[in-house]
Structure 1
Amino acid sequence: MMQHQRQHLAGRVALVTGAGRGMGGAIALDLARAGADLVICDIDMPALEQTHAQVEAAGARCLSLRCDVSSSIEVDNMFAAIVERFGTLHILVNNAALVPNRPVDTERRNKHYAYVTSPVPRQSLGFTSAMSDQEWHRYWDVNVHGLFYCTREALKLMEPQRDGRIINIASIAGISAMSAHSPHYSATKGAVIGFTKSVAAEVAGANIFVNAMAPGGVATPDLTAYIESIGDEKRNQLWQACPAGRLGTMQEYASTVTYLAGDHYLVGQVISPNGGVVI
């Protein structure tokens, strides 16, 4: 019965950054199914080609571009290509982000989860004091500077036409201590939320509605594999923090973004599908 709204974005052009895999790819596909034409970008071109094929199979026109959003020059070039192909942009989904999924990140995550699910003495976990300048700045370059570059260029198109929707992908890491193992990630996602609210108040009068989605755990292959690897006891301890007792699916998150891309009265809001982890 969802089909009655599936083409409500017909005639709209949407850009999804970081659309090569995971939630970005799912968002792009859901927007295509809702009738939008797509521009998708990533630095992982093989993955982006797969998303491109899925979007076109859904009946949408699609422009795929390699773009490192941490470079304002590459973002400028991407928007020039968007104007050349489609003439304008109506929807921006700022999804591209670095996430803590390297071996050192997994080590910190395991240490944090063990600390919060086991009766061990209270202590400092030592994450922030051991972090390098390089690691800290990497996350700001992509997660915050890239978000700004894309938003700035999108507004140059949306403001004259007095029409636009911007959805920034934040995280419960920006509104809670659930990602205390990754202070750099938490800080950048908190910045995403602050930026969202500020820009939303600035541009709402031009019928440009800016909101954020702050997901909880996303059932990506990597996170699903991690949770399956920790054993029943640790897994059940982990679910104590999540009333729903499971991760959110990529489709559940994607459909939230598609709603925010359409007609509504939401301005500067942080929608957080998280299974009750943060209420």
Structure 2
Amino acid sequence: MELSGRIALVTGAGPGLGRACAVALAAAGATVAICDVNETALTAAREAIEAHGRECLAIRCDVSSSTEVRTMFERVAERFGTVHALVNNAALTPSRESDTARRNKHYAYMSTPMPRQSLGFTREISDEEWHRYWDVNVHGVFYCTREALKLMEPQHDGKIINIASVAGLSDLSAHSPHYSATKGAVIAFTKSVAAEVAGANIFVNAMAPGGVATPEFNSYLDDIGEEGRNRLWQHCPLGRLGTVEEYASLVVYLAGAHYLIGQVISPNGGAVI
């Protein structure tokens, strides 16, 4: 129980990777606070954490609102006294029907001999869609980090783990340039803040996952059939997605004792080496 006595806050912890991170932190001994906008998923995540015998505070919070984020941190501090580890996981991902169409077009283009051309993705993104991604994926990370540092700097102790993406490191998500841009911004923000606060014994790092085997992504793989899956695996030498538990184990490590400052670690099955 290496995180015994530590207080961790995980954003976007209702479903998928966020829930797995919160459960893994609890299993490692941490007391966990979680937030999400999906209250049904939030309740299920709280119950999964409490099944490990750990106390959990579940708060509905939209991280794109600085007011809601401030209130959330006030509630966590009131309940547990402080925050030792923050996992900035809450994010919008390309999951709409239009996103799937772009993804399929991109994978086919990258794995099928055909004339080179523009795929026409960026010109179709609306102002609303662009700002929607930045509000959650970038502004939310900033709002939560700002509030966490107000607690961590006085105590001279803290770990911040930003969940970026391989999309911010490469062209593997060229089908969603708005998403890629926000994850690249998270990586740059991670490095800048890490250099700023390291002298206060606060460790800021990022995990940049490749494909994550969430129920949603597995459903997508079922829908595209064997040929579509084989197109996808052309970009991943391991030939499979990473499980949420595999990714969560790295988050637990980054929340514990180590010597990493401003690093971007990308478990991705060899997609980017």
* TM-score over 0.5 (shorter chain): yes
Q: Is residue 225 of structure 1 aligned with residue 219 of structure 2? A: yes
Q: Is residue 145 of structure 1 aligned with residue 139 of structure 2? A: yes
Give the whole-Å Cα distance in 2 for the aligned partners of 1:189 and 1:95: 11
Give the whole-Å Cα distance in 1 for the aligned partners of 2:223 and 2:139: 35
Show the 5 A alignment for 1:155-170: 155-170=149-164
Give the whole-Å Cα distance in 1 for the aligned partners of 2:28 and 2:131: 37
TM-superposed CA distance for 1:130, in Å, is: 1.0
Q: 1:77 aligns with which of 71, 95, 103?
A: 71
Count matched residues: 273
| Equivalent pair of 2:107/2:232 in contact (CA under 8 Å) | yes
Give the aligned partner of residue 4 of structure 1: none
Give the whole-Å Cα distance in 2 for the aligned partners of 1:102 and 1:53: 29
CA RMSD across the alignment: 0.7
Amino acid at match of 1:188: T
Post-superposition Cα deviations, 1:167-200, rounded to whole Å, max 9, x if no partner, equal 0000000000000000000000000000000000
Give the aligned partner of residue 213 of structure 1: 207
Q: Is residue 244 of structure 1 aligned with residue 238 of structure 2? A: yes
Give the aligned partner of residue 174 of structure 2: 180
Amino acid at match of 1:34: A
| Equivalent pair of 2:8/2:31 in contact (CA under 8 Å) | yes
Q: Is residue 198 of structure 1 aligned with residue 192 of structure 2? A: yes
Show the 5 A alignment for 1:251-262: 251-262=245-256
- What are the ranges of 5 or more consecutive residues in structure 1 without an aligned counterpart? 1-6
1:230 aligns to what SS in structure 2?
Answer: helix
TM-superposed CA distance for 1:236, in Å, is: 1.8
TM-superposed CA distance for 1:233, in Å, is: 2.5
Runs of 4+ in 1 over 4 A off after TM superposition: none
Give the whole-Å Cα distance in 2 for the aligned partners of 1:112 and 1:181: 6
TM-superposed CA distance for 1:278, in Å, is: 0.2
Give the aligned partner of residue 271 of structure 1: 265
TM-superposed CA distance for 1:240, in Å, is: 1.8
Give the aligned partner of residue 47 of structure 1: 41
Give the whole-Å Cα distance in 1 for the aligned partners of 2:234 and 2:130: 31
Give the whole-Å Cα distance in 2 for the aligned partners of 1:147 and 1:207: 20
Bigger shift: 238-247 or 66-75?
A: 238-247
Post-superposition Cα deviations, 1:252-271, rounded to whole Å, max 9, x if no partner, equal 00000000000000000001
Give the whole-Å Cα distance in 2 for the aligned partners of 1:138 and 1:71: 12
Give the whole-Å Cα distance in 2 for the aligned partners of 1:248 and 1:234: 18
TM-score (norm 1): 0.97
TM-score (norm 2): 0.99
Give the aligned partner of residue 89 of structure 1: 83
| Equivalent pair of 2:210/2:267 in contact (CA under 8 Å) | yes
Amino acid at match of 1:27: C
Give the whole-Å Cα distance in 1 for the aligned partners of 2:231 and 2:56: 43
Give the whole-Å Cα distance in 2 for the aligned partners of 1:151 and 1:237: 38
Bigger shift: 56-65 or 220-229?
A: 220-229
Q: 1:60 aligns with which of 22, 46, 54?
A: 54
- What are the ranges of 5 or more consecutive residues in structure 2 without an aligned counterpart? none
Amino acid at match of 2:65: S
Give the whole-Å Cα distance in 1 for the aligned partners of 2:189 and 2:145: 10
| Equivalent pair of 2:88/2:161 in contact (CA under 8 Å) | yes
Give the whole-Å Cα distance in 2 for the aligned partners of 1:64 and 1:233: 41
Give the whole-Å Cα distance in 1 for the aligned partners of 2:171 and 2:190: 20
TM-superposed CA distance for 1:212, in Å, is: 0.1
TM-superposed CA distance for 1:50, in Å, is: 0.3
Q: Is residue 103 of structure 1 aligned with residue 85 of structure 2? A: no
TM-superposed CA distance for 1:228, in Å, is: 2.3
Give the aligned partner of residue 11 of structure 2: 17
Identity of aligned residues (%): 71
